[in-house]
Amino acid sequence: MDLKLVKIVAISKNIKLDDLAEMANITRSTFYNYLSGKTSIPADTLKTLSDILDIPIARLYSESNNLELLHSSEPPPAYSLAKNVGEIPLVHKFAHSDYLSAYNSEEYLKSLPIYPVLVDQLPKGNYLCFEVSGDGMSNGTFESRVTGDIILTRELQKQQWSTGLNVNNNLIIVHREEGVMIKRITTHDVNSGLIIAQSLNPQYEDCKLSLNDVLVIFKEVKLVGRNSEM
């Protein structure tokens, strides 16, 4: 991706490129690889630069005809992603409690920051990006989801809850008491409405939850931003 605009704006604001790299928490060598196009820039890093320099991220897209934002240690998908950008509302890790209290407020959802996601054709539904917090889903494999990772999710409608939630899928569970959690369901008793939620990290015990206390459930569609420190 051509980051010429980043360099131009940084210079106009009297920000040295080395200082900009430090402000964005990027190593100098990695940052210059981004600038030269040797390395594809992750979407979350691009968003950080746009915030620091106060450049609308859509303008950065328009400056490039080679948008390569995905940067992940996961195995490559079995299909090719169309190079289209979807702008999905993002719930930051520090805003989980805010989302819990205002999850059904249309005004609040419209106030969320936008996260750019490379998308193919997505089925109809309600989509949100969540920034992962905590190490509950970290087990040292590519399946791990660690603090700072960004995942694209699709809301599961409540009628889907009654037919049995899929096991082995990462779910964002918004619970009245426990807050926003990323878990996997190992057991779902449809009759009682009880689920067993599991963390990938073996240090965490499974927890039993009643769906009566669950406000919203989102199913992970894909990882769209990997913690740059991983």
Which ranges of 103-193 does DSSP label H, i.e. alpha helix?
Answer: 106-111, 158-161
- pLDDT digits over 58-103, tens only? 566 545 433 333 333 343 333 233 345 678 898 988 889 999 999 9
- pLDDT digits over 105-148, tens only? 988 888 888 887 776 677 788 999 999 999 999 998 889 999 98
Residue 60's pLDDT is 65
Residue 136's pLDDT is 94
pLDDT band at 13 (very low <50, low <70, confident <90, very high): confident
Is residue 129 within 8 Å of 117, Cβ to Cβ? yes
Which ranges of the chain does DSSP label H, i.e. alpha helix?
Answer: 4-12, 17-23, 28-36, 43-53, 57-62, 96-102, 106-111, 158-161
Render the burial of 27-64: b for 16+ CB within 10 Å, e for the rest: eeebbeebbeeebbbbbbbbbbbbebbebebeebbeeb
Percentage of the chain lying above the pLDDT 90 cut: 38
CATH 3.20.20.70 for domain 4-62:
no
**What residues does CATH 2.10.109.10 cover in the chain?**
84-225
- pLDDT digits over 183-213, tens only? 999 999 988 999 999 999 999 999 999 999 9
**What residues does CATH 1.10.260.40 cover in the chain?**
4-62
Q: Taking 80 as the threshold, does the pLDDT of residue 23 lie above it?
A: yes
Which fold is adopted by the domain 84-225?
A: Umud Fragment, subunit A (2.10.109)
Distances (CA, A) of 186 to 45, 139, 167, 179, 189: 34, 17, 5, 19, 10
- For 171-208, the DSSP string reads EEEEETTTEEEEEEEEEEETTTTEEEEE-SSTTSPPEE
Residue 10's pLDDT is 83
Mean pLDDT, the chain, as a whole number?
A: 81
Give the three-class secondary structure for 106. helix
- pLDDT digits over 33-44, tens only? 888 777 778 877
